[in-house]
């Protein structure tokens, strides 16, 4: 282990935990050591993580329900706020039923391994989140990986595996490290043609797109064509947890078959109470979405004009492509010296040779703060020879 860790260090691939402290009076900032940093790395897209109404709901539930749920949901851990949250989630998504999971990671591994097994096949975009990949491995179904957003490649694989028992297509709707969108309309056409199921992971689009933040499938008017709709409560909702929405049968199936739900203690009721409040805000405080989308557009176009390679996305996730691991670390550390927390993302999180800084924007930030950050990023880009 020591030798391998040293090798990781030499290749600028070692990861380490650093402590970031939140600042109650300054949402959108964190402290690291002595420094106050503009947080351009968190997924608190709507700036809800410090919302007083959410914190109050959590505090009230903490006092009423206690610290922990004490058992799994199928035992005695299914405390009062769960039913209310799941009903509200199902109404929001206009579907039969919803089920809360401990987090997005366990939702994905739980759902995929409950739905497919030996003799089945999962078609998965090459850039899907690691939790989807792990869910497929755990399921023991065939893993048919298609090139990123390459619909013709997917079609060829669907044809090749057309005789498999159950076929599941799964995709991030907004890709977590590139910030671009899945081609949902094409995926739906293929799912119908090949009689497959479609699962979408709206981790980075839930709260952000759609008239009431329902997600990308809703914004594109294709929500009813999606069979399994998964999203997280840890990003736009500002808290922790995840949800899966779909038919009554799907949700009953998952209650009976999804192992992370069955064999793990329920989330503390206070988190669930906070999520109920966050869902109300997600649906009603439209200005947060508008502000986030305006900030994303401004940030993206400014970096693009300055000559940076920021990929093809159009979401609140903006990758600044640097290639070498060392360059990404160097850029990140230079940004930190300038008061910006922007983390370097390296393999295996992203493919070899595509290390980058992943900026993620938030409604917590003002245009003035972003303008200042852009000026600093451009100056460093010139100094480090990233742009000319």
Beta bridge partners of 144: 123
Among all residues, whose Cβ is closest to ligand PMP? Answer: 104
φ, ψ (nearest 5 deg) of residue 360: -130, 135
Residue 309 binds ligand PMP, judged by CB under 6 A: no
Among the options 164, 167, 229, 235, which is catalytic? 235
The rounded distance, in Å, linking the Cα atoms of 257 and 338 is 49
Question: Nearest distance from residue 232's CB to ligand PMP, in Å?
Answer: 4
The tokens of 299 are what? 């940030």
How many positions of this chain bind ligand PMP (CB under 6 A)? Answer: 14
Residue 356 binds ligand PMP, judged by CB under 6 A: no
Tell which one of 72, 103, 309, 349 touches ligand PMP (CB under 6 A): 103
Q: Are 304 and 310 in contact (CB under 8 A)?
A: yes
Residue 181 binds ligand PMP, judged by CB under 6 A: no
Residues 328, 331, 334, 338, Cα dihedral to 10°: -120
Tell which one of 113, 149, 232, 296 touches ligand PMP (CB under 6 A): 232
* Residue 376: count of CB within 10 angstroms of its CB: 16
3-state class (DSSP) for residue 306: coil
Sign of the dihedral defined by the CA atoms of residues 273, 207, 247, 101, in that order: negative
Binding segment toward ligand PMP, per CB under 6 A, in 56-64, 97-105, 270-278, 291-299: 97-105
Instruction: Show the site string, 237-276: x = touches ligand PMP by CB under 6 A, - = not.
Output: -----x----------------------------------
Closest to 360 in 3D by CA, of 20, 46, 7, 18: 46
Binding segment toward ligand PMP, per CB under 6 A, in 104-112, 136-144, 188-196, 216-224: 104-112
Residues 212, 214, 217, 219, Cα dihedral to 10°: 10
Binding segment toward ligand PMP, per CB under 6 A, in 101-109, 254-262, 286-294, 336-344: 101-109
Question: Nearest distance from residue 174's CB to ligand PMP, in Å?
Answer: 8
- Would you name the residues annotated as active-site residues? 176, 204, 235
């Amino acid at each position: 282990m020591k030798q391998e860790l040293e090798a990781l260090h030499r290749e600028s691939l070692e990861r380490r935990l650093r402590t970031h402290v939140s600042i109650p009076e300054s949402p959108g900032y964190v402290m690291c050591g002595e420094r106050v940093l503009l947080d351009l790395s968190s997924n608190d897209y709507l700036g809800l993580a410090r919302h007083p109404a959410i914190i109050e709901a959590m505090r009230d539930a903490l006092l009423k329900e206690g610290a922990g749920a004490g058992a799994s949901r199928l035992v005695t851990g299914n405390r009062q706020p769960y039913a209310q949250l799941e009903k509200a989630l199902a109404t929001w998504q206009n579907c039969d039923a919803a089920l809360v999971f401990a987090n997005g990671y366990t939702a994905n591994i739980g759902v995929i391994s409950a739905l497919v097994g030996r003799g089945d096949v999962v078609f998965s975009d090459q850039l899907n989140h690691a939790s989807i990949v792990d869910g497929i491995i755990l399921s023991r179904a065939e893993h048919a990986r298609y090139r990123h957003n390459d619909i013709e490649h997917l079609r060829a694989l669907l044809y090749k595996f057309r005789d498999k028992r159950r076929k599941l297509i799964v995709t991030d709707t907004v890709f977590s490290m590139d910030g671009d969108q899945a081609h949902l309309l094409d995926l739906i056409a293929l799912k119908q043609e090949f009689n497959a199921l479609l699962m979408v992971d709206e981790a980075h689009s839930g709260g952000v797109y759609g008239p009431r933040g329902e997600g990308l499938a809703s914004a594109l008017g294709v929500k009813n064509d999606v069979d399994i709709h998964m999203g997280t409560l840890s990003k736009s909702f500002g808290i922790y947890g995840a949800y899966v929405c779909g038919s009554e049968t799907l949700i009953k199936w998952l209650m009976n078959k999804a192992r992370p739900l069955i064999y793990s203690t329920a989330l503390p009721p206070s988190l669930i109470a906070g999520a109920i409040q966050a869902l109300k805000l997600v649906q009603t405080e439209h200005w947060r979405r508008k502000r986030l989308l305006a900030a994303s557009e401004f940030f993206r176009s400014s970096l693009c004009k300055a000559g940076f390679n920021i990929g093809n996305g159009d979401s609140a996730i903006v990758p600044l492509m640097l290639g070498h691991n060392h360059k990404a670390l160097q850029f990140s550390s230079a940004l930190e010296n300038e008061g910006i927390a922007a983390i370097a993302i390296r393999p295996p999180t992203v493919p070899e040779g595509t290390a980058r800084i992943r900026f993620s924007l938030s409604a917590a930030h003002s245009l003035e703060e972003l303008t200042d950050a852009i000026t600093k990023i451009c100056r460093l880009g010139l100094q480090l020879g990233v742009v000319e």
